[in-house]
Amino acid sequence: MDYGFDRYLRYDELVAWLHEVADEHPDLVTLESYGKSYEGRDLVLVTVTDSSTGAHDTKPAHWVDASIHAVELTATVAACHLVHRLVTAFGTDDAVTRALRTRTFYVVPRVNPDGAEWVLADRPRFRRSSVRHWPWRDGHRWPGLQNEDVDGDGRILQMRIADPSGGWMAHRDEPRLMVPVPPEGAPEGVMTYRTMREGFVADYDGFTIDTPRPVEGLDLNRNFPAGWGTSVPGSGDHPLSEPEVDALVRAIVARPNICGYNAYHTSGAVLLRPSSTRADKKLAPMDVWVWKQLAERGTALTGYPQHSVYEDFTWDPSQTMSGAADDWAYEHLGVYGWTTEFWDIVHAATGVKQSTHFWYTGPSDAEALAVLRWCDEHNPDGYVEWYAFDHPQLGAIEIGGWNDLHSWTNPPVSLLRDEVAPHADFAVHQALCSPLLEIVHCRAVRLGGDTWRVEAGVANVGWLPTDVSALARKEHIVKPITVEISGEPVEVLDGPARRKLGQLSGRSALRFTDGNDGTPDRALASWVVRGEPGLVVVVNAAHERAGSVSVQCSLSQT
């Protein structure tokens, strides 16, 4: 199936495309189902690595998942493009080739396939996240607005209702655009409106329209264990109560070689990092420094600035956005987590970034006008002329305005590929920053007769330490390096064949040594063994994050 990353794939198309990629690149790509969605769809995990240099679980890994929120369709395109970039650049691009020979990528292109199918249906239903009835398991709908494609045209737009006490009016220079009525009220003779998302009104009393949380109000990105709470909107019945999140967490934990995590979302064109609940001053300073170092390359590649969610994106620090995946990856696993928010239509229209509080305040009148004019030129589907409609409950209204799914939330499909493409190289960069074990020294020294001392020098040749973060080291989250000698009929005389070496620093620590490096990235193991000259022994070094490596050593004077 030809796919130019210029449209959104339905579930069956997506799975078919992934299978084609795997079939075309069997030495690089494998697919598996790591669980089932609420509606029973397979949750697909793509593993990408050069199998000729070792199995996926013997190498440090970088994890990327996408589209946990149903409407954030760009994220899946970005995840698919990452897979495409890896398999097509292998053997020609130095960084990609090194990454696949020494590291593994785990990619979940669509965490929430059920919600995306609802959004992409011929007659869509608006779902930001999960489709499960919640909090009312019987699917009870309280009176009020229920967001739907009420006129069946395949879009969920806006409705406007003429109302003398409405809070919206036409922009003075652009009558199509609804802007807030100013604090002093609308000018004399200017019509005002009440606006809301397109939908039906359940149990309409003829006067009031409530906007209840929909029965599909779960937010899968608030269902992770870190910071979970009942006061967080959409958090679910308990941590991991939702099959999509439970399966995702189990899949990640089952792969302890994961050293970095990135969740793809929309929108805002920013690289968001933990913490969602704590200021930077309450985090390990080294971890904040590493995030910022990674972000320097990320921003250079993508143009997206980095922000702390708590420091920059939280409107009210007493009501934090907790229970998210990147916080869980950091707080429970000790790996550096990111949330990439693709697409900033304000920046596309004006050249100026959205405010970091844009999710709360929305656009200014000037920004909205600039976006509308940009849509007229570049994205005609992004804004729809108002048209009359006889609403089954509200009577004569108008439908039109922002086609949010294809304007504010996702870019026009003609811009999709260019928007997501640079992020593949950022993923490669992060993977290459992970720790990596090598045995850089091995020798056998004859002590006399058939007795030998076998030495193995183990090094972390990666940028990050073997346990990845300062938090992981403080909390003892990561198991130590182990080295083991084997061979028959070799006898180990001075203790166990398998031994612990602890953790090793990476090159990132050198910035803090003032050039007085020493060897914190190295450790030496030795065994006294008995064996005939010429016998070959095997030394294996293994670490759950930094990979495993083996060398052979002949019992000969070397």
What would the pLDDT profile of 427-481 be if each residue is shown by its tens digit? 999 999 999 999 999 999 999 999 999 999 999 999 999 999 999 999 999 999 9
Residue at 487: amino acid letter: G
pLDDT digits (tens, 9 = 90+) for 146-197: 888 999 999 999 999 999 999 999 999 999 999 999 999 999 999 999 999 9
> What pTM, to 2 d.p., does this model score?
0.96
Residue 215 has pLDDT above 70, yes or no: no
Residue 341 parent element (H or E):
strand 336-342
Place of tokens 């679980």: 57
Radius of gyration (C-alpha) of the chain in whole angstroms: 28
Contact 59, 543 (CB under 8 A): no
Place of tokens 């009420």: 150
Question: Which domains occur in the chain, in start order?
Answer: 11-120+217-343+412-432 (3.40.630.10), 144-214+346-406 (no CATH), 437-554 (2.60.40.10)
Residue 287 has pLDDT above 70, yes or no: yes
What is residue 557's predicted lDDT score, i.e. its pLDDT? 61
pLDDT digits (tens, 9 = 90+) for 232-260: 889 999 999 999 999 999 999 999 999 99
Residue 37 pLDDT class (50, 70, 90 cuts): very high
Q: In sequence order, which residues have a C-beta less than 8 Å from that of residue 417 and are 6 or more positions away?
A: 4, 5, 6, 77, 81
Q: Nearest-CA neighbor of 445 among 454, 456, 436?
A: 454
Q: In sequence order, which residues have a C-beta less than 8 Å from that of residue 160 and are 6 or more positions away?
A: 168, 178, 193, 194, 195, 386, 397, 398, 400, 401
Share of the chain above pLDDT 70, in %: 99
For Cα atoms 486, 434, 548, give the angle at the middle one, nearest 5 degrees: 10
Q: What is the mean pLDDT of residues 486-508?
A: 95
Measured between alpha carbons, how far is 484 from 418 in angstroms, rounded to an integer? Answer: 48
Q: Mean pLDDT of all residues in the chain?
A: 95
Q: What is the mean pLDDT of residues 111-116?
A: 97
Query: Beta strands of 463-518 (E only): which ranges?
Result: 481-486, 491-492, 498-502
Contact 40, 102 (CB under 8 A): no
At what angle are helices 285-302 and 422-432 packed, to 10 degrees?
150
Residue 558 has pLDDT above 60, yes or no: no
Measured between alpha carbons, how far is 114 from 118 in angstroms, rounded to an integer? Answer: 7
* Token digits of residue 503: 């953790």
